[in-house]
Amino acid sequence: MSAEAPDRPVLRLKPKANARAIRRGAPWIYDNELVMDRRSKAIAPGSIARLEDHERQPLGTVAVNPGSRIVARMLDPDPEARIDRAWLAARLERALALRARLYPTPFYRLVHAEADGLPGVVIDRFGDHAVIQPNAAWAEARLEALTEALVQVTGVTCVLKNAGGRGRALDGLDDTDAVLHGTAPDAPIPVEMNGATYMADLTGGQKTGLFYDQRENHAFAARLASEARVLDVFSHVGGFGLAALAGGAASVTCVDGSQPALELAEAGARAMGGAERFTTRQGDAFDQLQALAGEEARFELVICDPPAFAPAKPALDKGLRAYERVARLAAPLASEGGVLVLCSCSHAADLSAFTGACLRGIGRAGRRAQLLHTGFAGPDHPLLPQLAESGYLKALVFRL
């Protein structure tokens, strides 16, 4: 029995709550599933509690935040589990063992939140550097122990905290970044993937500095890029564009609203020796798509990888209209027989809804499509089957 256990608070399910789903791996328990009496509401955010069903049978150890709609997050089926540095290190070791089998170099998502048994925690690794997004109150409260365990397990020499995650605000947490261990890098970190070189800005870039989730989809698109004119819209630091450059593209044009991101993409192209085949256009993506149509530009490969237009269900209808508009504006830019890649990172828009929006946009552009490939996040972003939100990324590859 843990030292925490005797004084550990208890949360109890209502009689109609689905205890069976929790026993089978459902990681979240909502406020309307729990008996939220005065004692439960008084539990401090980030506390560890014992979860019981309505008959007082134990279900496991949970992290608690009464101020969130997700009041409890399952940490361990053992109701007496001690959530300390050793427990954190064991979870990190298990996560690292998978990534070490998948990738020859230490550049990957090390922890993908609930799917790796660390709810709300994202950790991306960049060689000797790691960036943590502690997007839940329990992880923020144990950030020192988590950092120590991370250094112990991986041997990284620098750990940074990125507080820009949307989930932090939902859990009532601050937006202050920090250096948790070592010294922050004073220049972007070069990351090699799929034969391309990306420049990851760990302190000033979006999210943790680089999006690893599209790695497999970059590779598929690169197979179609040989001798092609390529357009990468919403390119960030050149995700698809630099992969296409490595795949032998005749030319690559990256479009993004962020000039700093495009400068990192240009630095990547120079590092690859492909600067003469690489150009950028800074500006609103929708405006740029319309401008390119006015210029009668055509490309054998067009990719659009926008931000989450539907990050939650209330934004779903508006988000699907935005995805349809992207498809409608991008489709005319693909040459006859060309390829159009459309992506979504909105978990609220499932594959069927996203596909429908894309096909409506393509149809309204007067084009017809063959679906060549459906891609998802890479295996360093594992899917927890009991949590649909962990399978957020979709990539559809059409031949027009």
Of these residues, 254, 304, 345, 358, which one is catalytic? 345
Nearest of 50, 47, 49, 58 to residue 23 by alpha carbon: 58
d(CA 131, CA 218): 22
Cα–Cα nearest to 48, from 69, 14, 74: 74
Structure tokens at 388: 């649909």
Strand order in the sheet with 28-30: 10-12, 47-52, 58-64, 70-76, 28-30
> Two tokens at 58?
């134990």
CA gap 132, 150 in Å, rounded: 10
254 is catalytic: no
Do the strands 70-76 and 28-30 form a parallel or antiparallel pair, or are they unpaired?
Answer: antiparallel
Q: What share of the chain is helix, strand, coil (3-state, %, to 5)?
A: 35, 25, 40
- The Cα 352–Cα 287 span in angstroms is 27
Instruction: Just list the catalytic residues.
Output: 345
